[in-house]
Amino acid sequence: MLFSELAVYFSRLEETTKRNALVEILAELFGKTPPDEIASTTYLLQGRLAPFFKPVEIGMGEKYVMDAIARAYETDRDEVRKRFDRLGDIGAAAREMAAESQVAPAPEHTPEVREVFERLTGIAGTTGAGSVERKVADVAALLARLDPLSAMYLCRVPVGRLRLGVGDPTILDGYSFAKAGDKSLRKRLERAYNETSDLGLIGQTLWQQGIEAVDALTIRVGNPVRPALAERLPSADAILAKLGRAAVEKKFDGFRCQVHKLGDEVKIYSRNLEDMTGMFPEIAQGALKQVPAHSAIFEGEALAYNPLSDEYLPFQETTKRRRKHNIENAAQELPLRLFAFDLLYADGENITPLPYVERRERLKGLIQPDDTILLSEERIATEPSELLEVFNDAIQGGLEGIMAKKLDAPYQAGGRNFNWVKLKRAQAGELQDTVDCVIIGYIYGRGKRSAFGVGALLVGVYDPDRDVFRSITKIGTGLTDAEWREVRERCEPYISEEKPARVESILQPSVWVEPEVVIEVLADEITRSPVHTAGMNGEKQGYALRFPRLISFRDADKRPEDSTTVGEIVEMYGQQGAKAVPA
Ligand code: ATP
């Protein structure tokens, strides 16, 4: 397929916000894409050159893209900057200049998607002395071979502004419609996606070898597995009524790590499947030292540990430490421990189908005792009182609660279900669990706060069925000046003139924000609401958070699609008022 044809599909996707229409356009695009271009087309649709877990980046900011545009259209950076300032989009600036220039060819003379993708991949791989100059020259050479519309989309890729409103579930539906004419393949594709996290690989396998080959795609070292997630229940009684007997562990408020080991290479992936190996050198070393198996995938919670006070520090400290420049130093001053809690793969064998108790036994056998990787302690509880003993112990130790695990359950990648149930401590008048929300807009403030340009945040939660974000509350009070400033800084790159494609909201903020920034919010209560769209359905009112306050920024370990779902909100609404610990 010519890159210019792909650009036309991009513009059609950009113009619509209707999910069915998006899926239809994708199905048409995939239907016309040659099998060996499915993977590259899929990554490009996401503004990328590789799956999210591979840190392949073009590595050119706005300034250098402007240089490339200037060189391609034989002008200078100031001219490009002028257009950029006027149009507010570097892609639109390139499009305008391409249209005016003598250089840009007609759409039918652009290179194929395959070639553009290969060149961009080459640019991403350019390193060493003079690499910036070579990148600028290569992008300029590529631009000179593209028609104006193609030039616009190409320039949006390196600066992370290719926002087509297409999330992963929408791409999976696009595949299914392209191959089967309906949604019937979605479940099978999703299973492969949960185990390999690589949409391009799945598309390519489907096109080249068919759905049976997709069914055979499974867990492999080097591809992060989408994590199993926990449901909520309001009390110890409710948990044991649901699970029968359960393994109960402390719930560590740390950083979830999925450790992949193959020979003497270790990779560590975050909750949102990013490669975080460089941030956790001591855990990578610990895995080499304490795990003799040739290959393994196991999970645990990493916590900063202060050896002087013998204290375990919470998530916030862990991320603070990660932000420090000198990780090696931080690793010495504030070493991390990993509390391992599950095993997914060992010595070439996928063990996720095994019951929890067996995986746990294998995990015990996998790890040689030492200081860095510790096995999270567990107790089998049959009576609520036994479960509460672990709960109280956890709370006394400054932790936030417990995780109860069903003894005969497999590890279900990418699933939030009752195989795991969390029970957290709650203060009177608070919801038992925090809600992870995505910022979708902000409302200008008056008085002191207007100095920071934000007065209240409009936030939403995720609706996975429709792959959109729906409003749930406004957060106006309780943020410190520094937090407002931070909000502003984090939202700045995502400001949008129009309502973003994947946002549904009746309320109109002063400024829309692309759904990218995830925050953790604690509220007193969930109420029904005629103005918020989360859970709104025809005549049925939506749901809102009452008295919300910001607890933390969660972009380090959550993608927007990992935020709390509308379904979870409905469930939490039903569980309100129950007490974790009987009075
Ligand atoms: P989630 O990860 O479920 O979306 P969240 O980020 O809000 O939710 P919580 O709901 O507070 O986190 O707790 C779930 C997380 O707790 C898991 O993802 C895992 O990182 C962590 N965790 C801590 N201790 C354990 C444990 N013993 N077993 C399993 N998970 C644990």
Q: Which residues pair with 112 in a beta bridge?
A: 2
Nearest atom within ligand 1 for CA of residue 376: 27
- Confidence class for position 448, pLDDT limits 50, 70, 90: low
**Mean pLDDT, the chain, integer:** 91
- Is the distance from CB of 387 to CB of 248 less than 8 angstroms? yes
* One-letter identity of residue 516: E
CA of 230 to the centre of ligand 1 (A): 7
Taking residues 384-404, what's their average pLDDT? 90
Is 191 near ligand 1, meaning CB less than 6 Å away? no
Place of tokens 């949409």: 199
Give the span between the Cα atoms of 492 and 452, in whole angstroms. Answer: 12
| pLDDT tens figures, 285-299 | 999 999 999 999 999
Angle at 391 between CA 387 and CA 397, to 5 degrees: 145
- Residue 452 has a pLDDT of 57
Is 554 near ligand 1, meaning CB less than 6 Å away? no
Is 403 near ligand 1, meaning CB less than 6 Å away? yes
Is 301 near ligand 1, meaning CB less than 6 Å away? yes
CA of 96 to the centre of ligand 1 (A): 48
Nearest atom within ligand 1 for CA of residue 229: 3
Domain positions in the chain = 3-156, 229-424, 435-575
* Torsion sign over Cα 348, 353, 356, 361: negative
Retrieve residue 69's tokens: 């545009």
In terms of pLDDT, which residue wins out, 355 or 488?
355
| Helix (H) / strand (E) containing 341 | strand 336-346
Q: Is the pLDDT reported for residue 583 higher than 50? A: no
Place of tokens 């829309």: 512
Give the span between the Cα atoms of 32 and 9, in whole angstroms. Answer: 11
pLDDT over 70 percentage in the chain: 92
Give the span between the Cα atoms of 554 and 556, in whole angstroms. Answer: 5
Nearest atom within ligand 1 for CA of residue 416: 3
Superfamily of segment(s) 229-424: DNA ligase/mRNA capping enzyme (3.30.470.30)
Ligand 1, atom 19, residue with closest C-alpha: 256
Is 436 near ligand 1, meaning CB less than 6 Å away? yes
- Residue 446 has a pLDDT of 66
Retrieve residue 223's tokens: 């591809």
List Cβ neighbours of 555 (8 Å cut-off, separation of 6 or more). 490, 516, 517, 518
- Residue 432 has a pLDDT of 79
Give the span between the Cα atoms of 42 and 51, in whole angstroms. Answer: 9
Kindly state the greatest CA–CA separation across the chain: 79
Ligand 1, atom 25, residue with closest C-alpha: 251
Helix axes 168-180, 199-209, angle to 10 degrees: 10
Annotation says 289 is catalytic: no
Is 252 near ligand 1, meaning CB less than 6 Å away? yes
User: How much is the pTM?
Assistant: 0.88
CA of 420 to the centre of ligand 1 (A): 10
CA of 213 to the centre of ligand 1 (A): 33
Is 272 near ligand 1, meaning CB less than 6 Å away? no
Pick the CATH number of 435-575 from 3.40.50.720, 3.50.50.60, 2.40.50.140, 3.20.20.410: 2.40.50.140
CATH number for the segment(s) 3-156: 1.10.3260.10
Alpha helices in 16-147 (DSSP H): 19-32, 38-45, 62-72, 77-87, 90-100, 113-124, 131-143
- Is the distance from CB of 565 to CB of 558 less than 8 angstroms? no
CA of 403 to the centre of ligand 1 (A): 8
| pLDDT tens figures, 42-99 | 999 999 999 999 989 998 989 999 999 999 999 999 999 999 999 989 999 999 999 9
HEC secondary structure over 356-409: HHHHHHHHHHHCCCCCCEEECCEEEECCHHHHHHHHHHHHHCCCCEEEEEECCC
CA atoms within 13 A on the CB side of 318: 28
Retrieve residue 452's tokens: 């920071």
Is 251 near ligand 1, meaning CB less than 6 Å away? yes
- Is the distance from CB of 95 to CB of 151 less than 8 angstroms? yes
CA atoms within 13 A on the CB side of 235: 14
| pLDDT tens figures, 529-540 | 999 999 999 889
Instruction: Provide the 3-class DSSP secondary structure of residue 462.
Output: strand
pLDDT over 90 percentage in the chain: 75
Q: For the chain, how big is the Rg over CA atoms in Å?
A: 25
CA of 505 to the centre of ligand 1 (A): 29
> How many other C-beta atoms lie within 10 A of the C-beta of residue 264?
7
Options 135, 179, 250, 251, the catalytic residue: 251
Is 256 near ligand 1, meaning CB less than 6 Å away? yes
